[in-house]
Structure 1
Amino acid sequence: MGAADGVAGRIGPNAIIRVLETLRESFGQDVTAGLFVQARLGHYLDQLPEKMVNETEVWRLHQVLREQLGQPTCADITWKAGLKTADYLLANRIPKAAQVVFKALPAAASARLLLKTIGGHSWTFAGSGQFSYEVGQTVVLTIRNNPLCRDVRTDVPVCDFYSATFERLFQVLVHPNTQVEETECEAKGDDVCRFELRWK
């Protein structure tokens, strides 16, 4: 049991559901079930979460994926799950009228408006971490005390789930050429997880 098990923050259920979907598509039902059981999340195989989940459940799932599949495969799975999460938000959580406004504004203004919206709901994805952002020539997002990086030590950034979600939302709502790079990560020993968003 790691230190993360003592943390009480909560994260939206997409962080579990979309990883489950991606694993089933990539590896099939049996492998997926085995990974979820190892992460002590077997109960979600029959009944998907409908409400916010304890952030330690998501942390355990990512840990098992890294341990059993390796970091590159874990990154691929969680990236795809992040894209699915953004698509779900676009289809079900961000009103169509608001999407029309985002798309009509100049990119910088749209980015500020979108980030104000994201910031107001950051507790749904950052859990007990702290989300902040700056809009300049480069859009910079940060998560401090990222719950998914607790007790994690790697040589590469590991927040592919967040990067993919941010990238897809910005590509659809702000600028189609948006690319996200995680330039700092607490799993690497940095002070924050830092995401830089650029478009040409």
Structure 2
Amino acid sequence: MKEDRVRLVVFSALLTALSDIMGKDGKNSVLKFAGLNDYVNKDVPPSTDPKDSIDYETFGALLRSMHELLGHGTNAILFESGRKFAVYLSPFGYSLKDVIERLEKWLGGKWQIKSKGNDKEIVSIENCPVCRGLEAKTALCTVIAGSLSRIKEESTGEKFEVKETKCIATGDSVCEFHIKKITKK
């Protein structure tokens, strides 16, 4: 898959979360605002087949329209979308290494685990496909944080906080996520 393509499973999860949170009309409004009328009132199957993909321009148009229309509310929707999307990763295992490899294939960019530990890990992404071409004052890759959170919870049974500490959209050279186990008090 070329890096300018995003697997349909990612787009489907984002649209499903948008519909779950905003309803069908809300989802359709965002799609129309993005100029993605071909997807209005349609279900997009969550295919992981490499031939079933959308161009990055379509993916980016949806993300930009969400940020423009919804502002800060976009982060909650994207985080939940990432959590929903993580369900599609489960057949490939729950190890962070396996998930990172799969996300790199499905989304593009160059992903790596920079630091490993039982209670804390750091994931770094060069040429992040989520914030590509966007500029912001705060980190934008909440959909990835949601996916990493869900994967860590499913693989360990524990709760994890995932925080994006660097984002290309804010001027950093990479997007970086700190994954930390939430300890019970």
Report TM bin, short chain: 0.7 to 0.9
User: Which of residues 136, 148, 157 is equivalent to 1:154?
Assistant: 136
CA gap 1:27/1:120 in 2 versus in 1, 3 angstroms: closer
**Unaligned runs of at least 5 residues, structure 2:** none
Structure number, greater radius of gyration? 1
Structure 2 contact 168–174 (Cα < 8 Å) conserved:
yes
**Unaligned runs of at least 5 residues, structure 1:** 1-6, 100-113
Partner of 1:122: 103
Counterpart-to-counterpart distance in 1, 2:162 and 2:134: 22
More helix by share: 1
CA gap 1:189/1:174 in 2 versus in 1, 3 angstroms: same
Partner of 2:31: 36
Counterpart-to-counterpart distance in 1, 2:84 and 2:178: 21
Structure 2 contact 121–179 (Cα < 8 Å) conserved:
yes
CA gap 1:136/1:123 in 2 versus in 1, 3 angstroms: closer
- Residue-by-residue CA offset, 1:97-125 (whole Å, 9 max, x unaligned): x56xxxxxxxxxxxxxx133124323334
- Residue-by-residue CA offset, 1:26-70 (whole Å, 9 max, x unaligned): 222222112112223222332515422222222111100011111
Partner of 1:188: 170
Structure 1 contact 15–58 (Cα < 8 Å) conserved:
no
Structure 1 contact 126–143 (Cα < 8 Å) conserved:
no
Fraction of identical pairs, as percent:
23
Structure 2 contact 14–85 (Cα < 8 Å) conserved:
no
Structure 2 contact 6–54 (Cα < 8 Å) conserved:
yes
Partner of 1:171: 153
**What TM-score do the two structures reach when normalised by structure 2?**
0.82
Q: CA deviation at 1:184?
A: 0.5
Structural RMSD (CA)? 2.1
Q: CA deviation at 1:141?
A: 0.6
Partner of 2:18: 23
Structure 2 contact 89–102 (Cα < 8 Å) conserved:
no
Counterpart-to-counterpart distance in 1, 2:75 and 2:60: 14
After superposing on structure 2, the runs of 4+ consecutive aligned residues of structure 1 that deviate more than 6 Å are none
Structure 1 contact 11–123 (Cα < 8 Å) conserved:
no
Worse overlay, 42-51 or 75-84: 42-51
Q: How many residue pairs were aligned?
A: 173
